[in-house]
Amino acid sequence: MRLTGVGRRYGLGGPWILRDVGLDIPEGSLLRVEGANGSGKSTLLRLLAGIDAPSTGRITGRPRTAYVPERFPAALPMTAGAYLTRLGRIHGLSRAAASRGALEWLERFGAAAYAGTPLSELSKGTSQKVAVAQGLMGTPGLLVLDEAWTGLERRSRALLDDEVRARVAAGARVVFVDHDPGRLAGEADAVLRVEGGGVLPLPAPSRNRGQAPGPPRRAERARPSVIVAEPPPGAVLPPDLPGTPEAEPAGDGAVRLTVAAPHSDALLRALLTAHPPWHIRSLTPAEAADPDAVSEASHP
Amino acid sequence: MTALLRYQAALLLRSHRWLPPLLLYGASMAVGVQGGQPILDCAGWAAATLLPVTAWLVRVCVTNEPSAARDCSAAAAGPWRVHLAAVGVALGAALLLAAVGVAVVAAVGDPHSTGRRAAVPVGSAAAAGLAAAAVCALLGTAVGALCNRPLLRSTAWAVPSTLLAAFVVLFAGASPANAVVTGLVTGSRTGVVSIPWLPLAAAGALAAGAVAVACALASRRT
């Protein structure tokens, strides 16, 4: 996906919000967008998501897209479950997959009890879960998150973090804005700073790579990853797991899975989306206890 | 596109915002369509009523989705498709009203010309009435598409413009809507029924053009 000379202003004589933006967003990249309030972050995200067309320039190669807004006070006259099912259909899912996905995502965010509640009666946090679930219903090639974490509780934020990692590992482009500087810290392929109408690609912190968004992080991928997962009652390890991990018992009925790092996100995803889902205790690079490891990426 | 149409139709149906335009249609029909009146006069009244009602339905449909939800569906399907689906649902609802209105006219209207000079076959009168109603629905769609979001975003501009444009289109000499309504009333006097093919084609082209403009601007102005 490529942006060439993209500019946006509102009204014919209005000031330029963004001007002459050129960006190349390859598959499997995670981009963080930063900037002061009113700098044009949201405008950039809306242009990327295709909600807004650029006043000048071109955006080419946009894949199937999903967008999650910061606030979702959508007083739509339907229930959360019905809305998600309909959005799933719009995202290209079959009827059965859409209604199954709607319930699954509400369940994963711990909001299954609200499937039959009208959207207008949901709390702010639950509305936001519906908005996030809507974005994750299909398999978008581009996921645009405009402070999507705002209003979610800790467990749902972690779930969204994990899902972003899994989507990026599976080749999707994810572009996000979040006020928390620690959000997916050190994992973004690039940070785009929106300032004075321009977009400056900054070097991604803690990543020894070039400035511009490029192919996904290679350096980290050499080491195998260790996932400790707890099976749901009565479940055995699903066959044909991604990366064919080595499994050994880890005490308390949990299983320690060692897998080549490039497959770790896909493996995580397979475990979390199994029926019934597994509980992930930890994800660490092998041979070194990493304090930054994702721990307690829990699941409802 | 089917999924979008179903979504927009569900929004319209469950929002109950179709009720005021429906009441307007019902009230106008109660005034203008009464038992024993010449069938073609009644059909002309029913068609004319449908034009402002359709413009109102289009306004309801294109403003029905809260902006946060519209952003989500626009990212998934493209803003122009979302807008097209909204307008399409309004037109569909208007054509449904047209069919019901013509059925009522055929049921209660007197199948004779004015003054009961000549018999008017109910079948061809209903066909002509339906075609006239379709012309008015298409032109109402054009008015609604051009006088609301994304072209006119503020309610203060959109509502008076929609109302004014609907009446201008209904009464202007060159308008296909005026042509079909006049055609029915004249037919009622002479007892001659004809299907208004030319105005139907013109109204279809005008509606397509207006909706294309609105859909093209759907991603330009939010």
Confidence of residue A287 (pLDDT cuts 50, 70, 90): low
Q: Mind listing the pLDDT tens digit for each residue in B175-184? A: 999 999 999 9
The per-residue pLDDT of chain A, averaged, comes to 86
Q: Residue A125 corresponds to which tokens in the numbers above?
A: 């946090």
B7 versus A38: the higher-pLDDT residue is: B7
The identity of residue A13, as a single letter, is: G
Ordered by start, the domain boundaries in chain A are 219-295
Q: Residue B152 corresponds to which tokens in the numbers above?
A: 């006119």
Residues sharing a CB contact under 8 Å with residue A293, sequence separation 6 or more, in sequence order: A282, A283, A284, A285
- Give, to the nearest 10 degrees, the angle between helix A41-49 and helix B67-77: 40
Asked whether the beta carbons of A24 and A190 are under 8 A apart, the reply is no
Which residues of chain B lie closer than 8 angstroms to A78, CB-CB?
A: 10-11, 14
Rounded Cα gap, residues B191 and B110, in angstroms: 12
Q: Residue B97 corresponds to which tokens in the numbers above?
A: 């009203």
Q: B153 CB near a chain A CB, below 8 Å?
A: no
Q: A14 CB near a chain B CB, below 8 Å?
A: no
Least CB-CB distance to B72: which of A69, A77, A89? Answer: A69
Q: Which of residues 236-275 of A touch B (CB under 8 A)?
A: none
Least CB-CB distance to B76: which of A66, A72, A74? Answer: A66
**Nearest of B219, B189, B201, B168 to residue B40 by alpha carbon:** B189
To the nearest whole percent, how much of chain A has pLDDT over 70?
Answer: 88
Q: Would the pLDDT of A218 be above 80?
A: no
Among A200-204, A219-223, A253-257, B29-33, which range has the highest average pLDDT? B29-33
pLDDT at A231: 85
Residues sharing a CB contact under 8 Å with residue B113, sequence separation 6 or more, in sequence order: B38, B40, B119, B120, B187, B188, B189, B190, B191
Q: B168 CB near a chain A CB, below 8 Å?
A: no
Residues sharing a CB contact under 8 Å with residue A269, sequence separation 6 or more, in sequence order: A166, A169, A170, A242
**Nearest of A228, A226, A190, A225 to residue A210 by alpha carbon:** A190
Contact B68 A74 (CB under 8 A): yes
Q: Would the pLDDT of A210 be above 70?
A: no
To the nearest whole percent, how much of chain B has pLDDT over 70?
Answer: 99
To the nearest whole percent, how much of chain A has pLDDT over 90?
Answer: 56
Q: Mind listing the pLDDT tens digit for each residue in B34-72? A: 988 999 999 999 999 999 999 999 999 999 999 999 999
Rounded Cα gap, residues A25 and A1, in angstroms: 5
φ and ψ at A7, to 5 degrees? -135, 155
Q: Would the pLDDT of A290 be above 70?
A: no
Q: Would the pLDDT of A8 be above 80?
A: yes
How close, in Å, is residue A38 to chain B by CA atoms? 17
**Do strands A142-146 and A173-177 pair parallel, antiparallel, or not at all (unpaired)?**
parallel
Q: Mind listing the pLDDT tens digit for each residue in A35-74? A: 998 899 999 999 999 999 999 999 999 999 999 998 998 8
Contact B65 A76 (CB under 8 A): yes
Confidence of residue A214 (pLDDT cuts 50, 70, 90): very low
The per-residue pLDDT of chain B, averaged, comes to 95
Contact A82 B10 (CB under 8 A): yes
pLDDT at B184: 96
H or E element, residue A185: none
Q: Would the pLDDT of A264 be above 90?
A: no
Q: Mind listing the pLDDT tens digit for each residue in A154-171? A: 999 999 999 999 999 999
Residues sharing a CB contact under 8 Å with residue B114, sequence separation 6 or more, in sequence order: B38, B41, B188, B189
CA dist list (Å): B71 to A179, B157, B211, B214 = 21, 23, 20, 17
H or E element, residue A40: none
The phi-psi region of residue A179 (left if phi > 0; otherwise alpha if psi is between -120 and 50; otherwise beta) is: alpha
Give this complex's ipTM: 0.91
Q: Residue B138 corresponds to which tokens in the numbers above?
A: 């298409």
Q: Would the pLDDT of B30 be above 70?
A: yes
Q: B222 CB near a chain A CB, below 8 Å?
A: yes
Rounded Cα gap, residues A24 and A18, in angstroms: 16
Asked whether the beta carbons of B137 and B202 are under 8 A apart, the reply is no
Q: A68 CB near a chain B CB, below 8 Å?
A: yes
Which residues of chain B lie closer than 8 angstroms to A66, CB-CB?
A: 72, 75-76
**Nearest of B56, B59, B125 to residue B97 by alpha carbon:** B56
Q: Among A51-60, A178-187, A255-264, B201-210, where is mean pLDDT lowest? A: A255-264
Contact A50 B78 (CB under 8 A): yes
Confidence of residue A217 (pLDDT cuts 50, 70, 90): very low
A294 versus A53: the higher-pLDDT residue is: A53
Ordered by start, the domain boundaries in chain B are 2-217
Residues sharing a CB contact under 8 Å with residue B112, sequence separation 6 or more, in sequence order: B38, B39, B118, B119, B120, B191
Which strands form A246-249's sheet, in the order they lie side by side?
A246-249, A255-259, A225-230, A279-285, A294-295
Q: Residue B118 corresponds to which tokens in the numbers above?
A: 């000549």
Rounded Cα gap, residues A72 and A87, in angstroms: 14
pLDDT at B128: 97
Q: A144 CB near a chain B CB, below 8 Å?
A: yes
- Give, to the nearest 10 degrees, the angle between helix B19-32 and helix B79-108: 30
Render chain B in DSSP notation, one character per residue.
-HHHHHHHHHHHHHHTTTHHHHHHHHHHHHHH--TTSBHHHHHHHHHHHHHHHHHHHHHHHHT-S-HHHHHHHHHHH-HHHHHHHHHHHHHHHHHHHHHHHHHHHHHHSBSB-GGG-SB--HHHHHHHHHHHHHHHHHHHHHHHHHSSTTT--SHHHHHHHHHHHHHHHHH-TT-HHHHHHHHHHHHHHHT-----HHHHHHHHHHHHHHHHHHHHHTTT--
Which of B11, B65, B70, B72 has the most A C-beta neighbours within 10 Å, making it the best mutation to test the interface with A? B72
Which of A10, A12, A90 has the most B C-beta neighbours within 10 Å, making it the best mutation to test the interface with B? A90
Contact B219 A134 (CB under 8 A): no
pLDDT at A21: 93
User: What value does the mean pLDDT take over residues B134-152?
Assistant: 96
Query: Counting one residue from A and one from B, how many pairs have CB atoms under 8 Å apart?
Result: 85
Q: Would the pLDDT of A297 be above 50?
A: no
CA dist list (Å): B179 to B42, B165, B182, B183, B211 = 16, 17, 5, 6, 22
A261 versus A298: the higher-pLDDT residue is: A261
Instruction: Quote the pTM value.
Output: 0.81
